[in-house]
């Protein structure tokens, strides 16, 4: 059996540590490197002869890391949020030129992806919606990538009831694609999202909760395997499920 050579960037973080265990437990994958801030990504890609780089670093460096991975013609699996739409478009263009498969996943949880799918289906029947996303205090970006992706999938045509309300200074609030997003960062939380869709005399609530980072690992492993057969950079786990 030819094993897929996987390099994990950001392996010392909580998500990275879980990913190391997940990759090492799969018989068709081999971990060829577990990097932290002291390592130079380009040098380690060359040393390890990695085929896939799983990036779980931070929003400050993820774009540069993704460019480095693609420049070395290695399949990127990006689980770090914080990439801007224009940055994603540029990375997709670079992969297209190289015919290189990869994925940017706002959320690796299978349940979260299904939640977004259900929300997309429901949004066709409602004019108003808001998103509440709740995460641990160490999560720096707000709104979360999952919340942004959810708002994009909903594609609401009409303004929400809150469009005329000004965002309070210092409040963790944003509006994306006509959907108001509320970001909560509190100890004891991991990754949770609730979408409220409102109609005449009714409210539909769709919620997903991740209680452990182990919930993301099936999606991580699926992504590592799938990118080997892709020739483009896809955005969203739903595109390979």
Catalytic residues, by residue number, are: 135, 139
The DSSP secondary structure of 130-182, one letter per residue, reads EEEEEE-TT---SS-HHHHHHHHHH---SPPTTTTSPPPTT--EEEETTEEEE
- Give yes or no for a contact between 36 and 12, defined as CB atoms under 8 angstroms apart: yes
| 128-135 β-sheet, strand order | 173-176, 179-185, 128-135, 191-199, 202-210
Closest CA to 162 of 153, 171, 192, 4: 171
Distance between CA atoms of 74 and 233, rounded to whole angstroms? 12
What phi and psi, each to the nearest 5 degrees, are found at residue 7? -110, 130
94 burial type by CB count under 10 A (0-12 exposed, 13-18 middle, 19+ buried) = middle
């Amino acid at each position: 059996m030819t094993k897929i050579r996987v390099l994990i960037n950001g392996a010392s973080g909580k998500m990275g540590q879980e990913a190391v265990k997940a990759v090492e437990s799969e018989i068709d994958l081999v971990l060829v490197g577990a990097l932290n801030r002291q390592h130079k990504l380009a040098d380690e890609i060359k040393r390890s002869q990695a085929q896939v780089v799983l990036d779980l670093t931070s929003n400050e460096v993820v774009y540069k890391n993704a460019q480095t991975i693609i420049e070395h013609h290695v399949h990127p699996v990006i689980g770090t949020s914080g990439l801007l739409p224009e940055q994603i478009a540029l990375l997709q263009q670079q992969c297209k030129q190289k015919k290189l498969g990869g994925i940017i996943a706002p959320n690796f949880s299978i349940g979260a992806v299904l939640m977004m799918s259900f929300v997309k289906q429901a949004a066709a029947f409602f004019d108003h919606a808001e998103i509440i996303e709740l995460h641990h205090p160490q999560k720096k970006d707000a709104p979360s990538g999952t919340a942004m992706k959810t708002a994009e999938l909903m594609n609401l045509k009409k303004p929400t009831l809150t469009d005329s309300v000004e965002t309070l200074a210092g409040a963790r609030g944003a509006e994306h694609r006509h959907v108001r997003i509320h970001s909560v960062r509190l100890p004891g939380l991991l990754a949770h999202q609730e979408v409220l869709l409102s109609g005449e005399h009714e409210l539909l609530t769709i919620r997903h909760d991740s209680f452990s980072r182990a919930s993301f690992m099936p999606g991580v492993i699926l992504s590592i395997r799938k990118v080997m057969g892709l020739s483009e950079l896809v955005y969203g786990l739903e595109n390979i499920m």
